Amino acid sequence: MIEQSLTLPCGHRVANRLCKSAMTEGLADAHDHATAAHQRLYSTWARGGAAIQLSGNIMIDRRYLERSGNVVAEGDSGLPQLRAWAQTVCEGGSQLWAQISHPGRQCPRLVNLTPLAPSEVQLNLGGNFGRPRAATEADIQDIIQRFADTAARVKEAGFDGVQIHSAHGYLLSQFLSPRTNQRQDRWGGSLANRASLLLSVIAAVRARVGPAYPIAVKLNSSDFVKGGFTLDESIQVVLWLNDAGVDLLEVSGGTYEQLEFFKPQAASEIRDSTREREAMFLEYAKSIKAVARMPIMVTGGFRTLAGMEAALAGGHSDMIGLARPFCLDPDFPARMLAGQMARLPVPEDHLVLGQGFWGPNSPSSVMRALNNQAQAGWYYHQIERLGAGLAPEPDVSPLRAMVAHFVKDFGRALRRKFA
């Protein structure tokens, strides 16, 4: 089924069931505009044959970034660069969808010392995040407007669709979670209140882009943290999304506090049914798929063609989301669609700083965070090489990649500040 096309509820058609899911790029210039590196990176991926190329975080407000180097679609100054990016992907034979996002409290100190969040609940992770201020009613109305403005702007630039990021602990996900949303007004308390910002954003975006333009949502199946957003709550939100005009729902999970997509898992710990299906969120997606009226995309953990085909044939997913494999083998979709490739490379087992106390399962939260950063830094390194027109460098040390990532992010933050 993987080569079959899919028609979305809005009438938009995608050529096959493969999507390059979002990965933060960090390639914007000091003015937060897209660059030639985005064009080189995404043209390389587009030629691989996946139907959709989903951008990394395109931010709705340059005061609050997920990291320095994010593209911000605010105002008209960056429109030519966005148009060039979209045109490059179109010429490569794929579609480019914009993931639009606000980081909330997951905005690093290098960008803003006082991020904006539902409540003043600080993210304590290596001292990297400041204590947030709680959004006022005016802030919330501004956020809704900014999501709609950004969606309209990327549509004008030629992007083929938009994804509203409401997962992984970013702002809309923070509003959904009782752990981070401790408000007592109409935006907090009950799940209906906590979900009202997401639903308001979708309505505002739909009003700006029209009925025929694809709107996707990325939603956590669970936050996987005590007191966070749960699977039962996710299922109820999906029931509300059924009536909100959503064309594609990407199922994911975790936050910065619990990075499920980076967490290693020994083969002996994986249930047989999960091993057969591969994808880490597929068990959760089955429950969501049972109530969802829009197509579902599952991202995270797929590594074999057989696993992807089983998920599609079993009706557990309608699209297959893949991300990190594109950093190692950008051309794999074409070979997979042609039946010439059955398994993708999985380097994650080697992307650790050490074993025991120094390893990814260390009892120290600091060491676990550093191993997550080492793995992320290794993939950032591959993205930067592809953006420079170079081949991936799979032998680079995760420690070296992590240090380089920290240095480069600091440099990007300084360039932004003095641009």
Q: Which domains does the chain have, with CATH numbers?
A: 6-345 (3.20.20.70)
pLDDT for position 71: 98
In whole angstroms, what is the distance from residue 342 CA to residue 40 CA?
A: 27
- Start-end of H helices in 218-331: 231-241, 272-277, 282-289, 305-313, 325-328
Query: Has residue 316 got a pLDDT over 50?
Result: yes
* Helices 231-241 + 282-289 axis angle, to 10: 40
pLDDT mean over 180-198: 97
**Higher pLDDT among residues 348 and 82, named by residue:** 82
Going by C-alpha positions, the residue among 218, 197, 205 that lies closest to residue 245 is: 205
Mean pLDDT of the chain: 90
pLDDT-derived band at 356, boundaries 50, 70, 90: low
